[in-house]
Amino acid sequence: MATEIAARVDDVVTVLANQHEQARALLAELHETVAAVAEITRDAAEPFRELVELLATHEAAEELVVYPTLKTGLQEGHVAGDCLAEEHETKRMLAGLEKMGKGFFAFPDALVEFEQTLLAHAEHEEQTIFPLLEGRVDDEHRRRLAEDFRSAAARAPSHAHAHSPQGAVGNVLLGPFLATIDRLRDAAHS
Ligand SMILES: [Fe+2]
Ligand SMILES: [Fe+2]
């Protein structure tokens, strides 16, 4: 959808502004649902933590104390074996749940923090970068920047990563875009 809208406009500032609005709309759409999820996960976090602690210690102590008694003292090795197999399966599943839980319980608050940071960043760009582009770059140049922006966006990785595209691979992928930025910088200093 973003690409379709961007393809119809010929000014880089309009392209950027449209995508900022799309991001705001998506965040607003997420906000309400995630707030509801946050309320539920807050209630679930403590009992889940207690459950993990209880079962982890319970099963470990059973394996140290109860099963050896069944096997050696009572000569019930086959009963112990069946139950131990089940026990290992529940431990495997619980370890997976505990791992998932870390991200699951942290997600709502992390998203709210991200939303605030991103909205502030978008506003900052709109107040500083947009007026510079509109005031100091002519229409034709802004049209070329819009083309380069679309081209760079089409080649850019569509998954988040923490590093800026300044390495060799990033420069190859974003070459046309960066070349235009260089032209823009030259124009601004001439
Ligand atoms: Fe058990
Ligand atoms: Fe932006």
pLDDT at 184: 54
Q: Which residue has the higher pLDDT, 65 or 164?
A: 65
Q: What is the pLDDT of residues 52-62, one digit of tens each?
A: 999 999 999 99
pLDDT at 21: 97
Separation of 156 CA from ligand 2 center, angstroms?
14
Residues 96 and 179 in one domain: no
Residues contacting 89, CB < 8 A, separation 6+: none
The domain of 174 spans 138-190
Residues 166 and 82 in one domain: no
Q: Which residue has the higher pLDDT, 9 or 4?
A: 9
- 116 found inside a domain: yes
- 4 found inside a domain: no
The residue type of 163 is: H
- 2 found inside a domain: no
pLDDT at 190: 46
Separation of 133 CA from ligand 2 center, angstroms?
13
Q: Which residue has the higher pLDDT, 35 or 178?
A: 35
Distance CA 45, CA 56 (A): 16
Number of domains in the chain: 2
Residues 130 and 62 in one domain: yes
Residues 102 and 177 in one domain: no
Q: What is the pLDDT of residues 74-130, one digit of tens each?
A: 888 888 899 999 999 999 999 999 999 999 999 998 999 999 999 999 999 999 999
Domain final position from 117, 136, 155: 136
Residues 128 and 43 in one domain: yes
pLDDT at 82: 92
Separation of 46 CA from ligand 1 center, angstroms?
22
Residues 74 and 159 in one domain: no
Residues 63 and 144 in one domain: no
Number of the ligand closest to the Cα of 149:
2
pLDDT at 164: 60
pLDDT at 1: 47
- 5 found inside a domain: no
Domain final position from 94, 111, 136: 136
pLDDT at 41: 84
Number of the ligand closest to the Cα of 16:
2
Number of the ligand closest to the Cα of 128:
2
Separation of 68 CA from ligand 1 center, angstroms?
13
The residue type of 112 is: V
- 37 found inside a domain: yes
- 3 found inside a domain: no
For residue 51, name the pLDDT band (cuts at 50, 70, 90).
Answer: very high
Residues 177 and 189 in one domain: yes
For residue 6, name the pLDDT band (cuts at 50, 70, 90).
Answer: very low
Closest listed residue to residue 16, CA positions, set 161, 172, 134: 134
Separation of 190 CA from ligand 2 center, angstroms?
25
Domain final position from 136, 152, 179: 136
Residues 22 and 57 in one domain: yes
Q: What is the pLDDT of residues 27-49, one digit of tens each?
A: 999 988 888 888 888 889 999 99
Q: What is the pLDDT of residues 138-169, one digit of tens each?
A: 999 999 999 999 999 999 998 888 776 555 55
Residues 144 and 64 in one domain: no
- 6 found inside a domain: no
Residues 96 and 153 in one domain: no
Separation of 50 CA from ligand 1 center, angstroms?
17
Residues 83 and 148 in one domain: no
Number of the ligand closest to the Cα of 64:
1
Number of the ligand closest to the Cα of 58:
1
pLDDT at 15: 95
- 124 found inside a domain: yes
3-class SS at 10? coil
> Could you give the residue ranges of the DSSP H alpha helices within 62-165?
67-68, 77-136, 139-155
